[in-house]
Amino acid sequence: MDVYDNAKTHSKTDKPKKPKFRRKQHQVESAKRVQQLFAKEIAQGQEELRKQQLARGKIRRLMKRDTSFKPRFEAIEAHCKCVGNLDMECIRFETPPKDENSKCVCTYDRDMMVAWPCFNISVWFDHTCPSCKEDGYCDYSLREDEPAKENLLEWPCKCRNRTESTDLDDAPYCIGKEPVEIRKLWIDDSNKTTTTTTTDITTTIPSTIPTTSESAATTSATTAPAPPTSTATTLPPMPTSRPNQRAIVSNPETIKAMAMPTSRPNQRAIVSNPETIKAMGFSGMTDGVAMLTKAKENLMFTMSALSAEQRVALSQSKLEFIEMCSFNGHECDIEQDFRLHVDPEFGNCFTFNYDVNNNYTSSRAGPMYGIRVLLFVNTSDYMSTSESAGVRLAIHAPTEYPFPDTFGYSAPVGFASSFGMKKKLIQRLSSPYGDCIHTETFNQSDYIYQHYDYHPEGCHRSCFQTNLIRDCSCGDPRFPVPQNSKHCSAFNATARDCLERNIGSVGDFHHVTERMNCECKQRCTEIVHEVTFSASRWPSGATDLGDCDGMTESECENYYRQNAAMVEVFYEQLNYELLQESEAYGLVNLIADFGGHLGLWLGFSVITVMEVIVLVVDVVSICFRRRNDRMMKDERNDSEKKYAPTPTNEKSKSLVQI
């Protein structure tokens, strides 16, 4: 039985589910500047691509009133649930809308049959675009330096403001729509007969363009972005024909009057400081992936300038992120069982089983007896730099720093991700046999991850950060800095250049050079968790997800499929593997080899050795016995001479001699 078959019986906040609103990080001024510059660079790249396509004649069909032309993208009306600010993306449903407030306009992809992204219908306005591209995207207006052309194709479109800039590079986003009436996503047009007519359409251009309340965004760090995931959606078939209702405007005065807006209130200029643009590093970039990576790096630099309290406030809280939890088949106490950990890249993370004095233990192996959590990532809070939706998971000892960017695993939304663990204990020998370091004797004076055990990854980062602070007077925002030091500013071109030079000189921070004057050795005792990953679609359709106010069951499932992830972490087996080092040639080996060689080459054996020992003892004893006998004889002779009679005459002497 699934632990979450009845979600109401598990750890869950007592408060009813409420919409997830856009957080305060979208109002950070420094992050706005990064976002605006990133949007400008993307728009410029798109404009360059458009000019190349024009030069190659790829829009020739559009200029010839081709009645069979069907662009890939078009504006379509759908039923959505929109929460938070009007400029936030909405969650789309396939059912008809209940009222006008539940309607939205989406960009429909004919090839993929997917309607995304969707925004509240109130932020869109009708417009007649002077020029539309082959893929269906349209230009809101002509540029001042672009000459008016005769036979220019205009087309009815839907537009919305996407920035607060008056720069034409950030003109409203426009997409073509059906001339008579915008298509409805919930209506199946495949069985309808379409009549082709030709009608001149007159559109009144408002003097003031509607504006939306757009908040610039910064990093929305929950636990982490994860690998991309896709949601299969069944959409109604597209119509087989499109009415040919286009008008050709050949009068240049009419084109110019229609193309240029008369006013755009309540909008600020985009970032134009040359030093800021240089520091951002977008100059010369044309690849979208490279620009996105650079934008993420800039946002990380921007967030590092904020205080720890501000970074915590800008990310999801514990109860917002963790909706349900169970361990070993029992309910968790979310408030007490998880500890906050702030990561420079992923923001607020939460550690389970962090207390070394109160460890949680599993009674059995398998997914039902590990930790199972339902995590709500709130994709509507994501920014344009978020490429994927999900969470980031790191498995580590309670006293180790997690390093989720290097040793983490990703779990996508809309899936139940299972992580099976196998424990491995590694014991290495220290000097003189090996070259490892004991955590207990490690000097943490230069270690930037204070209050955590030694780790080679942390040593590499500490070495790199220390030398960077010495050379540039500021640190890499990806890593902590020692006291009385600061991170490099995102808008300081000099500091950014110094950082790039240092990274380029060593390749990456894992490459320790002699100039750095530091060593990063392996630990003598190390616990490693080997992880295997598997995933299944979630929710299944039969799972009770609790109360979803104002939603049907299918809408609630789709809502969680787009915004939540189920994660399971468990032991695959309760035994562990031991890898232990020993000396290659010790004293015992030396004695054994010496005896073996003597027996092989000299024929020695234990009995022979004992006989030799007995012989030596006998020889020594005989020598001592003879010596003792000689000494005793000498003593007797001395005593006899002492007490012998004195001779009276020579005769007696001679007689004695005879």
Look up the CATH number of the domain holding residue 471: 1.10.287.820
Percent over 90 (pLDDT), the chain? 21
Summarize pLDDT for 579-611 with one digit per residue, the tens.
999 888 888 888 888 888 877 777 767 787 888
- Looking at the structure, tell me whether residues 59 and 204 fall in a common domain: yes
What residue spans of 532-605 are helical by DSSP H?
553-563, 587-601
Asked whether residue 203 is domain-assigned, the answer is yes
- Looking at the structure, tell me whether residues 70 and 200 fall in a common domain: yes
- Looking at the structure, tell me whether residues 67 and 215 fall in a common domain: yes
Domain boundary among 219, 248, 280: 280
Radius of gyration of the chain (CA): 41
Question: Using 50, 70 and 90 to split pLDDT, how confident is the model at 65?
Answer: very low
Residue 644, pLDDT above cutoff 90: no
The secondary structure element, H or E, covering residue 47 is: helix 29-56
- Looking at the structure, tell me whether residues 43 and 142 fall in a common domain: yes
Highest mean pLDDT among 157-161, 236-240, 486-490, 492-496: 157-161
- Looking at the structure, tell me whether residues 276 and 184 fall in a common domain: yes
Summarize pLDDT for 264-274 with one digit per residue, the tens.
333 333 445 55
Mean pLDDT of all residues in 189-207: 37
Summarize pLDDT for 341-355 with one digit per residue, the tens.
998 888 899 999 998
- Looking at the structure, tell me whether residues 161 and 73 fall in a common domain: yes
Return d(Cα 318, Cα 375) in angstroms, integer: 10
Asked whether residue 16 is domain-assigned, the answer is no
- Looking at the structure, tell me whether residues 159 and 240 fall in a common domain: yes
Return d(Cα 421, Cα 529) in angstroms, integer: 6
pTM: 0.56
Domain boundary among 480, 500, 522: 522
In which domain, by residue range, is 180 found? 24-227+236-280
**Do residues 390 and 544 lie in contact, with contact meaning Cβ atoms separated by under 8 Å?**
no
- Looking at the structure, tell me whether residues 122 and 263 fall in a common domain: yes
- 436, 439, 440, 441 alpha-carbon torsion, rounded to 10°: 50
Asked whether residue 298 is domain-assigned, the answer is no
- Residue 98 makes CB contacts below 8 A (sequence gap 6+) with 79
Q: How many domains does the chain have?
A: 3
- Looking at the structure, tell me whether residues 509 and 614 fall in a common domain: no
Mean pLDDT of all residues in 489-502: 82
Summarize pLDDT for 526-563 with one digit per residue, the tens.
999 999 999 999 888 777 776 677 778 888 888 899 99
- Looking at the structure, tell me whether residues 510 and 607 fall in a common domain: no
Domain boundary among 280, 315, 348: 280
- Looking at the structure, tell me whether residues 34 and 174 fall in a common domain: yes
pLDDT of residue 570: 95
Asked whether residue 608 is domain-assigned, the answer is yes
Asked whether residue 415 is domain-assigned, the answer is no
pLDDT of residue 211: 34
Asked whether residue 182 is domain-assigned, the answer is yes
- Looking at the structure, tell me whether residues 631 and 506 fall in a common domain: no
3-state secondary structure of 409: strand
Asked whether residue 456 is domain-assigned, the answer is yes
Lowest-confidence region among 214-223, 295-304, 446-455: 214-223
**Do residues 237 and 188 lie in contact, with contact meaning Cβ atoms separated by under 8 Å?**
yes
Asked whether residue 68 is domain-assigned, the answer is yes
